[in-house]
Amino acid sequence: MSGISIGNASRLTSGTIQLTDVLPIERPGVTTPYSATITDVLGGLTTSFLSQSNVFAAPQHIGADAEKASLPGFSIARTLTNSENARGFHDASVFGGALQKAYASFDAFAESAEAANLDHLIGFQARNEHAGTGTLDKWYGFGAFPNITGGDVANVYGYYGADPLGAGVITDNYGIYLASQTRGVTNYAIYTNAGAISLGASVTIRNGGLVTEAGGIVLASTNTPIQATRTVSDTTGLITLGLLLAKSSGDMADTFGSSITFSVQDDTSASTPLVQIGGVRAGADNTGDFVVTTAAAGTSTEKLRVTSGGDVRVIVGKLVPVLKAAASAPAYEKGALYFNTTSNKLMVGGATAWETITSA
């Protein structure tokens, strides 16, 4: 038989039905209870129900396999072979007209009303198990696949978590909480593809720091976009608040280094670099100089260098003064300056040798 309709005309009060297809049950429209046992030869469905106004009494079990949960209200346990897109529960309702309320295919409204403590309450739980010898390409704990074939949709939320209602005290409120992800060869707690990420409040990174690939980090704000705070117990010495690392795929040489660029932009131009400060390799991989470059008519050139040996070089055109203090004369350099701590004289690199600067 293709189906049996149970309604006011021929109401089933009790008995056993064996069928090889489906059993559509229409609302009886009565207030007196009725009971029946249904056996599905194909699907192995055996269930007894007691209903009043189309309400089934728990528990209900569909399928010939054993249940894998304790005290289920409704259980589906069956063995499927060569089945594609098999579903334990399928809702294909069509609604429209003057319907204004939201519709949910699954509505979890379990309530904890006992005075005793309860460990947890879960609205939706995905515990699918892969125990075969083949490879499962994808395992979805929750899959959202919207299909908008007509009309307009103002907002599509793949997942939406509302702020809890009620007056009960909540110690820690997590919109999304992910436990440590360690079972994979590569582990991602959250992984996104194309699409912007918008965060409405501050971001706290507890461990591991922030790592970015192509694109880096772009901060745009009407307030101070970057503020670094590091709390330590030290009372002396420099405290590192940032690290700039330039990595070369080759063998680095002198002048290779990392820098910070200061740029400006108005409403009619592109970003224009003005000043660059950085550190460059100087003589060895563990030796470096501090340099400052400035831009003139769009061309940046070095204007200041503090060498690893302590020299300060101020570069103006072709004049390269060196300012340092020494007990004896350093290597001669025309135009350079040094203070002789033995004679307490200021020396300048003259035409051919060091000369003492005297007042006029």
Same domain for 58 and 3: yes
Strands (E), 52-165: 60-62, 74-76
Same domain for 9 and 58: yes
27 within some domain = yes
Same domain for 30 and 68: yes
Q: Tens-digit pLDDT profile for the chain (360 aa)? A: 333 434 333 333 344 444 333 344 433 443 444 444 444 444 444 444 444 444 555 667 676 677 777 667 777 777 777 666 677 778 887 776 666 666 778 888 878 887 888 888 888 888 888 888 889 888 888 888 888 888 888 999 888 888 999 999 999 999 899 998 999 999 988 888 888 888 888 778 777 777 777 777 777 778 888 888 889 999 999 999 988 899 999 999 999 999 999 999 888 778 899 999 999 999 999 999 999 999 998 899 998 999 898 888 777 555 456 667 778 888 887 877 888 888 888 888 888 999 998 875
Q: Which of 31, 49, 80 is the last residue of a domain?
A: 80
Same domain for 313 and 331: no
- Model-wide pTM > 0.75: no
Report the pLDDT value the prediction gives residue 287, as an integer from 0 to 100: 97
Number of domains in the chain: 3
Q: How far apart are CA 331 and CA 304, in angstroms?
A: 20
Report the pLDDT value the prediction gives residue 114, as an integer from 0 to 100: 78
264 within some domain = no
172 within some domain = no
350 within some domain = yes
263 within some domain = no
Same domain for 343 and 330: yes
* Domain around 285: 272-319
Same domain for 55 and 9: yes
156 within some domain = no
170 contact partners, CB below 8 Å, separation of at least 6 = 164
141 within some domain = no
Q: Which of 25, 47, 80 is the last residue of a domain?
A: 80
Same domain for 13 and 71: yes
Q: Which of 28, 63, 80 is the last residue of a domain?
A: 80
- Could you count the other beta carbons within 10 Å of the beta carbon of residue 223? 5
Same domain for 22 and 70: yes
Strands (E), the chain: 16-19, 34-40, 45-51, 60-62, 74-76, 257-264, 272-281, 288-296, 299-306, 312-314, 322-323, 325-326, 337-340, 345-349, 354-356
